[in-house]
Structure formats: structure tokens, C-alpha cells
Amino acid sequence: MKVAREARSAAVVINAGSRRGAAHDLAVDAMRRSGVPISAVHHVLSGGELAATLDRVLAEGHDLVVVGGGDGTVSCAAGRVAGTDVVLGVLPLGTANDFARTLEIPGNLAEACAAVADGKVVDIDLGRANGEPFLNVASVGLSVAVTEALSPRLKRYLGPLAYGVATLRSYARHKPFRARLEFPDGDHEPLELENLLQVAVGNGRHYGGGNTVSPTAGIDDDTLDIYAILAGPLWEHVSIARFLKDGRFIEHDRVYHLTTRSVRLVTEHPLPVNLDGEIATTTPTDFTVQRNAVHVVVPRGSTSALLDGPGAVNGPPS
């Protein structure tokens, strides 16, 4: 399939509980007028309902699945279609929409619908954390508290600014932690770290409402970017935060950064792990990357990923 109109059958799955989920009817009508062969439309309100609906849609044999929602919704869908020939379309209806930002999918809904209808298909990598999928970033530490502080009401009224408000609230209550990074492929020596603010493992390029994982991070480079930020006084974290948008924060002397294809994160006590805005597993956590695992429709002008062909050589753990 080169464009969505070549699909045999398309299904649309909308998370109606996402920040802009109420716009789903307009989106479906727009795609149908553009020639997308939509034969099924589903609205969901919970994570459990989303997973079950996606499984049903795939069992029905649709070769294009268009998902509308935030990053957590899209990651769930990517995990379901990974390793198959099903193509994923994305309508960014959430708060941060970092996956869409990485692939240059427009935030404007009408333009996103046009991108689904007229775009091209590319291959992207999928991260796995204890087998659970993530597209953007998995993290332990401060980001978990930020996620817990991001109430639906706060996101609805403040949009991406909600991340800054939640971060300030969470920072004051954060307790530093210890962690060990182990590298099964032997590409790095084990790394023991103390007094940590956060450890993150990036598969994509953007996270947290437009922050950049690193200046060289990409979503089809078959690589995970790892960074660890040491805890410290507020003024030091303000200096780090100044460079979050372009990824140059990794050059700060209180930040460790390296790249790998596989890493195990062990903490002194089990800690929750945030996967694209959803608390989905705990440490110890094994992180891997599935190369070229998901086919996605992106705008024709997008340069963030290529169609490289089959290459999901690192499947999810059995």
C-alpha cells in the first residue's frame, strides 16, 4: 500500500476521552470524502476498551487502521499492529502529540486527515519495556510523578502547558533514587548511578510536549537513546531545562547519555515506569527496540522516517 486510498478496508478507532476526541465525526467524514475506504468506526473511552477494540479490528482483516487519540493511544495501537502488514494512520487528538510531532503529522485535524488520505507509508521502530510497547520515551523518576499529576481536567484546560505545571508540582516532592544500567549486548560496561532525578529511554525523537530526546535521536535508527539526570539544586535543573527543546541538555555535566539497542534498568526498589504517558510496568525493566516494526502513514513531505522494508529483527520478548 502506497497511499491510504489503496487500502482494501479501513477501520477508524477514536479515543473519545482524549483532549480533542469530540471531533471524531468531522475527521471520519473528511477522510471518507478524500477516498479512504472506511468500513468501520469505533469510539472507546478506556484503555481496556481500546485494546479489545484494536484486537477485534485486526481480526476483521482491515489493512489500514486509523487511530485518533494521544500518544498513549497511538502506542497501544502500534503495539498491536507491530510486525504485521497493517498500516497505521494517526489523528493527533491528545495533549502532547509527540509521536505526530516526530513524524511531522499536522496538529490541525483537517490537515491530519488529508495526510492520512494523501500521505506516504514509512517504517518506524517500536520500543519495548518488559514487552510493553512505547513509541516516544519510557522513563523512571520525576516523569512518573508528572504523569500522575496530569489530570484530564488540567490537560483539557491548559493543553501542553499542563506539563510545565505538573512538573513544578512534582519536583518539590521528588525523592532521588539509585539505578543500575546493564547492557546485554556488551556494548557498554554496567553503569551504577546514585542520586537520580530521572532515567529515560527514548525510541522516538520528541516527548513531553515537544522536548527532544537528543540532537541525533530518530524513530527509525534502530537505536535507543538513554539519558540519566542527576538530582541537584533547582537552579541546575533550570539550566538543563533551557536545552530540553533541542536536546542539547544531554551535554550538561549532570546528564549521562549513551545509545544502545538493549538495556536493563534495575533500581534499588521497584519503581513504576512511564511509557508515553501511561504507567505500564515496573523495574527491573528490559528495554529493546523492534526495527521497522510499524508501517505508518505520514505527510508526503515528512523526512523523519523511510520505508526500509522488513526488519523487525528484535521482536518482543516471549
Residue-wise pLDDT for 26-39, tens only, equals: 889 999 999 999 99
**pLDDT reported for residue 238:** 72
- Return the H-helix or E-strand segment holding 129: strand 120-129
Instruction: Pick the closest to residue 30 from 2, 61, 68 (CA basis).
Output: 68
132-289: which CATH topology? Answer: Tumour Suppressor Smad4 (2.60.200)
Rounded Cα distance, 223 and 220, in Å: 8
**pLDDT reported for residue 23:** 59
pLDDT (tens digit, 9 = 90+) per residue, 61-81? Answer: 999 999 999 999 999 999 999
**pLDDT reported for residue 277:** 86
Residue carrying the nine cell digits 521497584 = 270
pTM of the model: 0.88
Q: Is 75 helix (H, G, I), strand (E, B) or coil?
A: helix
Q: Is 85 helix (H, G, I), strand (E, B) or coil?
A: coil
**pLDDT reported for residue 318:** 35
Residue carrying the nine cell digits 498491536 = 80
Which cell goes with 127?
520500543
Which DSSP letter does residue 86 get? P
Given 3-state DSSP classes, what are the helix, strand and coil percentages for the chain, each rounded to the nearest 5? 30, 35, 35
Enzyme catalytic residues: 278
Choose the CATH number for 4-121 among 3.40.50.880, 3.30.479.10, 3.40.50.10330, 3.40.50.10420.
3.40.50.10330
Q: Where are the alpha helices (DSSP H) in the chain?
A: 24-33, 47-59, 71-81, 98-102, 109-118, 142-149, 152-158, 161-171, 234-241
Sign of the alpha-carbon torsion through 139, 253, 180, 316: positive
Q: Within the chain, which residues score under 50 in pLDDT?
A: 21, 312-318
Listed by start position, the domains of the chain span: 4-121, 132-289
In 161-269, DSSP assigns E strands to: 177-182, 191-202, 206-207, 211-212, 224-230, 255-260, 262-267
Q: Is 106 helix (H, G, I), strand (E, B) or coil?
A: coil
